[in-house]
């Protein structure tokens, strides 16, 4: 039953994105018109949820680029609905602790991740320009001095990391950062070396830090998320340690599989334990089978689509703990 649900859920998710993308118009880095983020219609979330901290959330890739387009069009209502649906699958982790903001942006389409970084860069840069514009608008007009969380998954995590690299050597921003949840994208020692203001999380309640992990089976092949020969940095979302010690599935408070409304369709406590691989840095999950959690977008054993879902309740609890910790530090 679980396998059937997971396959149906993600077939619906990907099919919706593919069908919606057929009418997209290509947008490249030389597109002249910036998005007006003073217009609330250009926000997928605008002051939603409740909590004493804010959330700036960046959507993962939903545009499959089926028409050959390189960046998502914001004129396509179907794709925008898919965009909101993808955000809704994550919102339950954050909405009880934060006031949520999430901008629409002209994300890079999925096939470009199989291009060379040099060839795909102009289109990722175009997506980043939108996200940075939205974030700066949020800071200048909506934040009102409140602490905030940055969060994203997949391309969203990649763009959040770029925000951190480019803007967060500024103490006026970094002092208000509760944490950055950059889940589903690689972060390397080279990144930290080039941007020494970046700090990886080392525990369950440190603040101003980056939380990251990439889930896979013990014998998973490399993928574009974590390529061969790359070691990513991360933290174990069950034990909140950054070493390779195994965390038993008894610590997993609930894997939650959600639909496009954000409703939890199935919840499985103690689904899997995990440990950080000492060579790849990825999060290894020994208690589930690749066949049960496969997808057509990634090799079997690469559990990228489930990073949030597998550790939903632990992440939800952790967001609240880090918000509380930030306020305690201000006393």
For residue 8, the enclosing domain spans 2-28+35-329
Helix axes 117-141, 155-167, angle to 10 degrees: 70
pLDDT in tens, the chain (331 residues): 444 344 434 433 443 343 333 333 333 334 559 999 999 999 999 999 889 999 999 999 999 998 899 999 999 999 999 999 999 999 999 999 999 999 999 999 999 999 999 999 999 999 999 999 999 999 999 999 999 999 999 999 999 999 999 999 999 999 999 999 999 999 999 999 999 999 999 999 999 999 999 999 999 999 999 999 999 999 999 999 999 999 999 999 999 999 999 999 999 999 999 999 999 999 999 999 999 998 889 999 999 999 999 999 999 999 999 999 999 999 8
Residues in the chain: 331
- Provide the number of structural domains found in the chain: 1
């Amino acid at each position: 039953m679980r396998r059937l649900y997971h396959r149906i859920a993600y077939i619906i998710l990907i099919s919706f994105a593919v069908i919606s993308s057929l009418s997209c118009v290509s947008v490249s880095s030389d597109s002249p018109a910036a998005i007006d983020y003073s217009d609330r219609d250009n926000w997928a979330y605008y002051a939603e949820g409740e909590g004493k901290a804010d959330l700036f959330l960046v959507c993962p890739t939903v545009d499959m680029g089926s028409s050959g387009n390189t960046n998502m069009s914001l004129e396509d209502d179907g794709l925008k609905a898919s965009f909101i649906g993808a955000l809704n699958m994550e919102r339950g982790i954050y909405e009880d602790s934060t006031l949520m903001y999430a901008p629409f942006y002209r994300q890079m389409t999925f096939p470009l991740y199989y291009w060379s970084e040099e060839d795909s860069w102009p289109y990722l840069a175009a997506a980043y320009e939108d996200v940075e514009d939205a974030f700066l608008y949020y800071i200048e007009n909506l934040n009102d001095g409140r602490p905030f969380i940055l969060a994203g998954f997949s391309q969203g995590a990649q763009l959040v990391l770029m925000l951190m690299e480019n803007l967060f050597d500024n103490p006026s921003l970094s002092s208000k950062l509760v944490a950055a949840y950059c889940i589903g994208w690689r972060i390397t020692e080279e990144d930290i070396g080039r941007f020494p203001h970046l700090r990886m999380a080392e525990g369950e309640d440190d603040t101003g830090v980056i939380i990251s992990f990439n889930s896979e089976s013990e014998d998973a092949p490399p993928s574009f998320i974590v390529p061969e020969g790359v070691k990513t940095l991360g933290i174990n979302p069950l034990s909140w340690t950054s070493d390779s010690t195994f965390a038993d599935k008894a610590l997993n408070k609930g894997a939650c599989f959600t639909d496009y409304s954000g409703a939890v369709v199935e919840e499985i406590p103690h689904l899997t334990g995990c440990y950080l691989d000492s060579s790849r840095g990825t999060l290894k999950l020994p208690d589930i089978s690749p066949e049960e959690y496969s997808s057509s977008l990634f090799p079997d054993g690469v559990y990228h689509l489930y990073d949030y879902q597998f550790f939903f309740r632990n992440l939800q609890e952790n967001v609240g703990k880090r918000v509380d910790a930030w306020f305690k530090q201000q006393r």
